Amino acid sequence: MPRKEVLRIEKLKTHYYTLGGIVKAVDGVDLRVYKGELVALVGESGCGKSTLAFSIMGMVPPPGRIVSGKIYLSDINLVELSDEELRKIRWSKVSMVFQGAMNSLNPVMKVGDQIIEAMLYHDVISRPEEGRSTVKHLFELVGLDPNRIDSYPHELSGGMKQRVVIAMAMALNPDLIIADEPTTALDVTTQAKIMEVLKDVQKKTGVSILLITHDLPLVAEVSDRVYIMYAGKIVETGDVFTIFKSPRHPYTQGLIGAVPSIRGPKKKLVALPGEPPDLRFPPPGCRFHPRCSKAMDICGKKEPPRIEFGPDDFVSCWLFAKEGERK
Amino acid sequence: MSGDVSRPGLRKGGIIEKTKEFWRVYSRIRVGKIGLVLLLIYVVMAVFAPWIAPYNPRAILVGKHFEPPSWKHPLGTDEMGRDILSEVIYGARTSLLVGILAALLTMVIGTAIGIASGYIGGITDDLLMRLTDLFLVIPGLPFIIVLSVILGASIWNIILVIALIAWPGTARLVRSETLSLKERMFVHASRVAGASDFYIMVHHILPNVLPIVSATMVLNVTRAIILEAGLSFLGLGDPTAISWGTMLYFADKEGAMLSPNPYYIIAPGVALMGIGLAFVFISYALDEVVNPKLRQRR
Amino acid sequence: MSGNILVKAVHLKKYYPVRTSFLESILRGERIFVKAVDDVSFEIKRKEIFVIAGETGSGKTTTGKLLVGLEEPTSGEIYYNGEKISGIPIKKWKKHGLRKKIQMIFQDPYESLNPRQYVFDILAEPLIVNKVVSSREELYDRIMRKLEEVKLIPPEEFAFRYPHELSGGQRQRVVVARGMILEPEFVVADEPVSMLDASIRANVLDLLEEFRSKYGVTFLYITHDLATARYVGDRIAIMYLGKFVETGPVDEVIQNPQHPYTKALVSAIPVPDPEYARKKKRFELYGEIPTPINPPKGCRLHPRCPLAMDICSREEPPMVKVGPDHYASCWLLAKR
């Protein structure tokens, strides 16, 4: 039985037109999220993963804009929508939990009212009183005491605030939550709890989650499928077991080899050499080739083809191309 | 992350590149360019006064009394028969001198007190801040009048007096900036490196408050120019210096408004307005360049 | 002679008074304190990388600041090379010759470098203010050599750039170079890689190891990340609300945690192995870490500990030996 697609991104390009040149932050990305899935988008800072998130939300900050490509959110192409139409879809179909979101709560407004405000804005309810029972349900959903609805943000701990933020993201019952580094800067024990809450909410409601992060161990723990992004492009995707057990792309291998673990034998870590490229002037051919230990002649000349191993399972690397194609 | 789109690595931070970058942003702001052109006119007037001015501004009876504008005297003459255009041109010297020096002095006093107060803290801070409050609540104009009477009328005293009443604003600004700077990691790092307080104030705090102070400098110049004109208009200016304020003082005293040559009053007034506008425009543009948040909103 | 011990802390405490209004302080009748570090003792051996790990508010950073003189202890002593150094104000460190011996590597490569200075000037500062170079040439040589040692090669390329012209990883190397430029014996490294991408952390961590093997530098590595702690550290102390709850060899403490807090911490850390991650059982505590103002009586963990007993809320648990060089402070482990 084919799974229902919640998000389908096709050949998306989002560029920033800065004084210093065009920053190709997202440069031809294909990505899919199915119903009830937790998909991780992994990459280092500056690889364009946050820009991808902003593109989906229709909130690319100037001087950036979507140049081409399609973003289907349950069959609606968001790229073609007007600002007004986007505003309606944002939050009701796709919501976002971003880094440091708990600090974005209005300090002088009760947390419950902040959620009700979002509901009023989207015409789900017409009077504030109608929202209270919904908010209480939401609080239960994220494991918060429903009586906390009348608390102010400063009366809540960091973990509780993060739960409020998740409740707010769920307020309009969206199909997809984009979680952009939701636990960065939180302590590990708090992080573990928040991820548990997200997984729990997902189990209960069937919402899909696109987790954007640089934290590989976290990805290994919570995600179903993984996209690896490098310099504006997806270099590899697959299910989480394949990615971690038998990574194909040298970049994925490098990332995994660079991360220390508290389990298993103590190994010497090998950091990736060099730095990610300036996205205004990406290297020709494969963008990873200057840092790649397995680079061949062709890697610096031609962009690698996408080698498919199955549905949503591909790698973009010359190593996997047939001999004849490498010319 | 989107914040990293301007990835480092390629830009070399030379002074020339920085100036170019600065100019690229600045030149897109129209009022900024207008302000700059205006200011340039005044600077040219001040620097090349002896060559531009048709007459010696002090020479009396180059024309008749209160002669109306003519080809010989484009702005007419005053009660002593001096050429008004020449006086206005020379007046730019006084205004710019007073404005820039007073603003510089304000900056020096305010920055020194602000940094010392903010960085050293404790009793020093309390004392310096109470002193600042004192100067802030002293009614400015009466204080200036009294002081300039005591010190006597000379250009240098006027500069001193203006700086004396203007520094508290700068001091407050610098202090609050210093308070936040001294908790920055690089200041702690400097302490661990073994740097003394004085070294940290000079090498770490000062360079980081200077941009903000220089931004306010422009407005301080305007303020000083207007104050000088005000003082001179009240007859407290330096009678030996040719300044627009002094011109206004005599014009008013001699009843120029009812005379055949009202330009005696209008010319220095317009000159003052123009220089004020020039600096306000520049300050507005600088604000946009220095403050990237403002720039984005456009 | 102090033998093998380079740094020793004895009953170290650092309390910060909480600012309250005048009226409040009269009504309460006592001042309230944040007990950031509350009776901590430890020894750091020569050429060792000793780790203090803990979460926000554990007091790990304050402990580091006490050791480099940025803070003065409320009570307790710090000995360096057998000599008492606590009580010497930071302004006198230079005179006592301590500044050249004890240095710090700061956490944030964005915040800890003055944005208006060239890399060269940043690195020159410690050398100049401590008057360790006699000529311009010597200054230049030492800075270039240090830049090379932190792998900013070629050094001339990097010396005359501003921090914002470098990537995060390069900046952090500058931070390391500044900490090492006086060729210190003991360095406190406070979360030196927490702001960096995972793929380049190992590079910076390897620098610490290189400085240790090349110059015999002793490190105190402060972190919230047990995975990097395991990678570089020899011995570790787990800190919770101002106290050490468990100390021992890094691998031993992480593989075989004895204190409930350590157990919870270890089990919360994600493991880059999806199969293991799906099987693992987490050991969970209740609630979240409280503020260190008026910490709980008895064992500080007891309100959150699922294994708490009566005694835990009444008496502070002793440090108990649970293995070779491995200690934990928990009533469950104490013989009564």
Domain count, chain A: 2
* Contact across the interface for A54 and B1, Cβ inside 8 Å: no
Task: Name the DSSP class of C318.
Answer: P
Chain C residues close to B191, C-beta within 8 Å: 70, 90
* Contact across the interface for B199 and C93, Cβ inside 8 Å: no
* Contact across the interface for C285 and A262, Cβ inside 8 Å: no
pLDDT confidence tier of residue C211, bands split at 50, 70 and 90: very high
Q: Does A292 touch chain C (CB under 8 A)?
A: no
Give the nearest partner residue to A187 out of C224, C230, C275, using CB atoms: C224
R_g (Cα) of chain A, nearest Å:
21
Q: Is the pLDDT score of B11 beyond 70? A: no
ipTM: 0.86
Q: How far is B126 from chain C (nearest CA, A)?
A: 18
Mean pLDDT: which of B207-216, B282-291, C24-33, C250-259 is highest?
C250-259
As a whole number of angstroms, the distance between CA C104 and CA C178 comes to 9
CB C110 within 8 A of CB C195: yes
Query: What's the pLDDT at A176?
Result: 93
Q: Is B61 or A66 the better-scoring residue by pLDDT?
A: A66
Chain B residues close to A51, C-beta within 8 Å: 2, 5
Tell me the DSSP string of A22-36: EEEEEEEEEEEEETT
* Contact across the interface for C227 and A259, Cβ inside 8 Å: yes
CB C115 within 8 A of CB C194: no
CA-based nearest residue to A246, from A235, A233, A256, A258 = A256
Q: Does B6 touch chain A (CB under 8 A)?
A: yes
Q: Are residues A164 and A21 in the same domain?
A: no
**Chain B partners (3+ C-beta pairs within 8 A):** A, C
Q: How far is A93 from chain C (nearest CA, A)?
A: 30
Chain B residues close to A230, C-beta within 8 Å: none
Query: What's the pLDDT at B6?
Result: 34
B216 is written with which tokens?
């306010």
* Contact across the interface for C126 and B184, Cβ inside 8 Å: no
Query: What's the pLDDT at C21?
Result: 65
CB B77 within 8 A of CB B83: yes
Q: Are residues A213 and A89 in the same domain?
A: yes
Query: What's the pLDDT at A241?
Result: 93
* Contact across the interface for C289 and A221, Cβ inside 8 Å: no
Q: Are residues A26 and A72 in the same domain?
A: yes
* Contact across the interface for B2 and A280, Cβ inside 8 Å: no
As a whole number of angstroms, the distance between CA A267 and CA C146 comes to 27
Q: Which amino acid is at A217?
A: P
Q: Are strands C235-240 and C75-80 parallel, antiparallel or unpaired?
A: unpaired
pLDDT digits (tens, 9 = 90+) for A237-279: 999 999 999 999 999 999 998 888 888 888 788 888 888 888 8
Chain B residues close to C129, C-beta within 8 Å: 193-196, 199
Q: Are residues A134 and A221 in the same domain?
A: no
Query: What's the pLDDT at A277?
Result: 86
* Contact across the interface for B5 and A46, Cβ inside 8 Å: yes
Q: How far is B224 from chain C (nearest CA, A)?
A: 30
CB A63 within 8 A of CB A18: yes
pLDDT confidence tier of residue C278, bands split at 50, 70 and 90: confident
Chain B residues close to A275, C-beta within 8 Å: 9
Q: Is the pLDDT score of C120 beyond 80? A: yes
Q: How far is C109 from chain A (nearest CA, A)?
A: 15
Residues 19-38 of B with CB under 8 A from A: 24
As a whole number of angstroms, the distance between CA B95 and CA B229 comes to 8
Residue A73 domain-assigned?
A: yes
Q: Are residues A153 and A80 in the same domain?
A: no
As a whole number of angstroms, the distance between CA C63 and CA C83 comes to 18
Alpha helices in B138-243 (DSSP H): 140-151, 155-181, 185-193, 197-200, 206-233
Query: What's the pLDDT at B258?
Result: 75
Q: Are residues A210 and A322 in the same domain?
A: yes
Q: Is C129 or B236 the better-scoring residue by pLDDT?
A: C129
Q: Does B298 touch chain A (CB under 8 A)?
A: no
Which range among A31-35, A240-244, C93-97 shows the weakest confidence by mean pLDDT?
C93-97
The structure tokens 């939550």 sit at: A177
Q: Is A71 or C110 the better-scoring residue by pLDDT?
A: A71
Residue A200 domain-assigned?
A: no
Q: Are residues A236 and A322 in the same domain?
A: yes
Q: How far is B181 from chain C (nearest CA, A)?
A: 10
Contacts of C278 (CB under 8 A, 6+ apart): none
Task: Name the DSSP class of C148.
Answer: H
Which range among A192-206, B56-70, C6-20 shows the weakest confidence by mean pLDDT?
B56-70
As a whole number of angstroms, the distance between CA A110 and CA B205 comes to 40
**For residues C86-102, average pLDDT:** 90
Give the nearest partner residue to C273 out of A214, A218, A220, using CB atoms: A220
Contacts of A229 (CB under 8 A, 6+ apart): A29, A41, A42, A43, A47, A48, A49, A52, A235
B268 is written with which tokens?
């220095």
Superfamily of domain B47-297: MetI-like (1.10.3720.10)
**For residues B287-296, average pLDDT:** 61
Give the nearest partner residue to B194 out of C70, C129, C175, using CB atoms: C129
Q: How many helices and strands in chain C, by DSSP H and E?
A: 12, 12
* Contact across the interface for A244 and C167, Cβ inside 8 Å: no
Q: Are residues A64 and A112 in the same domain?
A: no
Q: Is the pLDDT score of B8 beyond 60? A: no
Q: Where is C152: in which H helix or E strand?
A: none
**pLDDT > 70: percent of chain B:** 92
CA-based nearest residue to B154, from B216, B240, B262 = B240
Q: Is A275 or C225 the better-scoring residue by pLDDT?
A: C225
Q: Are residues A79 and A107 in the same domain?
A: no
- Domain C5-101+184-261: top CATH class: alpha beta
Residue A166 domain-assigned?
A: yes
* Contact across the interface for A20 and B6, Cβ inside 8 Å: yes
Residue A201 domain-assigned?
A: no
Domain extent listing, chain B:
47-297
CA atoms within 13 A on the CB side of C242: 24
CA distances, C216 to each of A104, B98, B102, C180, C209 (Å):
46, 62, 57, 12, 10
* Contact across the interface for B189 and C94, Cβ inside 8 Å: no
C276-292: string of b/e by CB count within 10 Å (b at 16+)? ebeeeeebebeebbeeb
Burial (Cβ within 10 Å: 0-12, 13-18, ≥19) of residue C128: middle
Q: Which of B4, B26, B298 to probe the A interface (max A CBs under 10 A)? A: B4
Task: Name the DSSP class of A319.
Answer: G
Q: How far is B292 from chain A (nearest CA, A)?
A: 13
As a whole number of angstroms, the distance between CA C176 and CA C266 comes to 28
Chain C residues close to A263, C-beta within 8 Å: 271, 273, 276
pLDDT confidence tier of residue B292, bands split at 50, 70 and 90: low
Q: Where is A308: in which H helix or E strand?
A: strand A306-310
CA-based nearest residue to C143, from C111, C170, C182 = C182
Chain A residues close to C254, C-beta within 8 Å: 262
As a whole number of angstroms, the distance between CA C58 and CA C266 comes to 16
Q: Determine the residue of chain C that is closest to B7 in CA distance.
A: C167
As a whole number of angstroms, the distance between CA A262 and CA C120 comes to 38
Give the nearest partner residue to C126 out of B7, B13, B194, using CB atoms: B194
Q: Determine the residue of chain B that is closest to A44 in CA distance.
A: B1
Q: At what angle do helices B122-137 and B155-181 cross, to 10 degrees?
A: 140
Q: Are residues A245 and A315 in the same domain?
A: yes
Query: What's the pLDDT at A91?
Result: 83
**For residues B139-159, average pLDDT:** 83
* Contact across the interface for B6 and A23, Cβ inside 8 Å: yes
CA distances, C265 to each of A181, C174, C201 (Å):
20, 32, 21
As a whole number of angstroms, the distance between CA A250 and CA A265 comes to 22
Chain C residues close to A241, C-beta within 8 Å: 274-275
Q: Mean pLDDT across chain A, nearest whole number?
A: 88
pLDDT digits (tens, 9 = 90+) for A162-205: 889 999 889 888 999 999 988 877 888 888 888 999 999 999 99
CATH code for the domain of A260: 3.40.50.300
Query: What's the pLDDT at B234?
Result: 84
* Contact across the interface for B189 and C178, Cβ inside 8 Å: yes
CA distances, A231 to each of A15, A187, A244, C165 (Å):
12, 29, 21, 19
What residues are paired with A239 via a beta bridge? A225
Chain B residues close to C164, C-beta within 8 Å: 8
Give the nearest partner residue to A260 out of C224, C228, C276, using CB atoms: C228
**For residues B55-71, average pLDDT:** 77
Q: Is the pLDDT score of C158 beyond 70? A: yes
* Contact across the interface for C199 and A44, Cβ inside 8 Å: yes
**For residues A21-38, average pLDDT:** 91
Give the nearest partner residue to B2 out of A19, A51, A280, using CB atoms: A51
Chain C residues close to A218, C-beta within 8 Å: 270
As a whole number of angstroms, the distance between CA C173 and CA C166 comes to 10
Contacts of B126 (CB under 8 A, 6+ apart): none
Query: What's the pLDDT at C336?
Result: 57
Contacts of B201 (CB under 8 A, 6+ apart): B115, B116, B119
What residues are paired with A13 via a beta bridge? A27, A68
Q: Which amino acid is at C118?
A: Y
Query: What's the pLDDT at B298?
Result: 38
As a whole number of angstroms, the distance between CA C122 and CA C131 comes to 15
As a whole number of angstroms, the distance between CA C181 and CA C179 comes to 6
* Contact across the interface for B2 and A61, Cβ inside 8 Å: yes
Kindly report the number of other CB atoms within 10 A of residue A22's CB atom.
15
- Which SS3 state, helix, strand or coil, does residue B180 take? helix
Query: What's the pLDDT at B1?
Result: 34
pLDDT confidence tier of residue B3, bands split at 50, 70 and 90: very low
As a whole number of angstroms, the distance between CA A116 and CA C266 comes to 38
**pLDDT > 70: percent of chain A:** 98
Query: What's the pLDDT at A45?
Result: 83
- Which SS3 state, helix, strand or coil, does residue A60 take? coil
